[in-house]
Amino acid sequence: MKVFVVGLNHKIADVDVREKLAFNGPKLEEGLLRFRQLPEVEEAIILSTCNRVELYANVRDPQKASESIKTFLSDFHNIRRESLDSALYIYDDISAARHILRVASSLDSMVVGEPQILGQLKDAFEMSLSKKTTGILLNKLMKKAISAAKRVRTETRIAENAVSISFAAVELAKKIFTDLSTKVFMLLGAGEMAELAARHLIGNGVKEVVVANRTYERACDLAKEFNGRPVNFDDFMQEMVRADIVICSTGAPTYILIKNQMQKVMKERKQRQVFIIDISVPRNIDPEINDLENVYLYNVDDLQGVVDTNLFERRKEAEKAEKIIEEELETFLKWQSSLDSVPTIKALREKAEEIKNDELGKLLHKLQDIGDKEREAIEYMATAIVNKLIHPPTAALKADTENKELLVAAIRRLYGINGERSED
């Protein structure tokens, strides 16, 4: 039994290719069942997200499985078979198990440390369980992947630092104001990045929202979406007296707020702290405003600096996470190795018992006049001899070794254990 992965992700395929191979909606269930029905596939899971499409399997012959799965993808998605060879990556055995653990822990994600992938992996696993397309190997590996991801979350700080401009804005706001729920937020303009930051702020507790835009109808639409209040753009200076957090992205060619104007605002605010984010390019807020007491002004480059620092921190945490992955992988491989040995150990015991019983039968047939005590003594001695003879190979099979497959093959040949190995 070997873990096998065939897939593609954001690193090697653009969105057009990923869309063509995606298993969306009803396609997922249909694809999963057809995938499992392939003769070379004994267990099957399909993980399909916006950034990756991966097929997980338990196979005996990786080479045959590779060809079969590629043909399945070609037929199912009506894509030329030849075009898949360069678009897919393939992982086999240990590298496949390691890959799945890294995916679950978001070490293979576009944004390292993002939490969504673990939920998506759980959903894929649940789908496979409900359709009975998995078995002992993938069930164990999926549970191990989930536990590894949880360890990475709790034992590292990989997900603690914001790695997008909009998230960085929220993180800075939380450092300045410990409780965002009591703060007034004003969105000045309607740039895409500013709107995204606004959504994150609202998601982090901001309740009172004011929207000012040069097009009042647009302000009304956004205010409705954010459950806020629209105002005329010309009135934004008066509104800043109440606003604790301001995100500006107007697209104006010059400054719309200068230092002496902000001084008047701060006087009316009685010097209460204010956090201003100028995402506009060119900048719309005079950078000299940052010299004023209790005014915290950040532009897009400042936020990018925060993101770059946080990405560096995440990379350091990712190194710790990789060590956790290797620890969890080692325990899985030990379990898998012992699982591969069980059928041979059972067959070896059955072979020994068969020989013992056959020889005992012949001997006791010749010694019909002996008593019960003598018979028991002979049977006990025969059992003891058998146990001592099969103990060394049994212990070797149970031990952790890199050459387990060679050892299994050698023992089966030496002891005349023929046929396919049992799966129980």
- Does residue 120 have a pLDDT over 90? yes
Is residue 313 in some structural domain? no
Residue 111 Cα distances to 108, 147, 336, 415, angstroms:
8, 20, 31, 53
Residues 24 and 134 in one domain: yes
**For residue 278, which phi and psi values (nearest 5 degrees)?**
-105, 95
Domain count, the chain: 3
Residue 67 CA to residue 59 CA, distance in Å, equals 12
Residues 10 and 86 in one domain: yes
* More confident: 315 or 292: 292
- Does residue 372 have a pLDDT over 50? yes
The predicted-structure confidence for 340-357, as pLDDT tens digits, reads as follows 677 788 888 888 999 999
- Does residue 310 have a pLDDT over 80? no
The predicted-structure confidence for 44-57, as pLDDT tens digits, reads as follows 999 999 889 999 99
- pLDDT at residue 401, as a whole number: 62
**For residue 4, which phi and psi values (nearest 5 degrees)?**
-140, 135
**CA 169, 171, 176: angle at the middle one, nearest 5?**
95
State the residue range of the domain holding 98. 2-160
Residues 297 and 384 in one domain: no
Residues 210 and 150 in one domain: no
Residue 41 CA to residue 80 CA, distance in Å, equals 22
Residue 321 CA to residue 250 CA, distance in Å, equals 41
Is residue 175 in some structural domain? yes
- pLDDT at residue 308, as a whole number: 80
Residues 48 and 194 in one domain: no
Is residue 327 in some structural domain? no
Last residue of a domain, one of 113, 143, 160: 160
Is residue 291 in some structural domain? yes
Residues assigned a catalytic role: 50
Q: What is the dihedral of CA 342, 348, 349, 351, to 10 degrees?
A: 140
Residues 143 and 195 in one domain: no
Strands of 251-294 (E only): list them. Answer: 274-278
CATH of the domain at 138: 3.30.460.30
The residue-averaged pLDDT of 286-294 equals 95
- Does residue 423 have a pLDDT over 70? no
Residue 321 CA to residue 299 CA, distance in Å, equals 33
Residues 12 and 155 in one domain: yes
Is residue 346 in some structural domain? yes
Residues 134 and 246 in one domain: no
Residues 73 and 105 in one domain: yes
Residues 99 and 243 in one domain: no
- pLDDT at residue 115, as a whole number: 80
Is residue 315 in some structural domain? no
The residue-averaged pLDDT of 73-81 equals 93
42: pLDDT confidence band, cut at 50, 70 and 90?
A: very high
Residues 138 and 231 in one domain: no
- Asked if 297 and 273 touch (Cβ cutoff 8 Å), the reply is no
CA end-to-end span of the chain, whole Å? 13
Residue 167 CA to residue 182 CA, distance in Å, equals 19
pTM over 0.75: no
- pLDDT at residue 340, as a whole number: 65
Is residue 47 in some structural domain? yes
Radius of gyration of the chain (CA): 33
Last residue of a domain, one of 103, 135, 160: 160
Is residue 187 in some structural domain? yes
Residue 197 CA to residue 195 CA, distance in Å, equals 5
- Asked if 320 and 293 touch (Cβ cutoff 8 Å), the reply is no
Read out DSSP for 317-329? Answer: HHHHHHHHHHHHH
Q: What is the pLDDT of the chain when averaged over all its residues?
A: 89
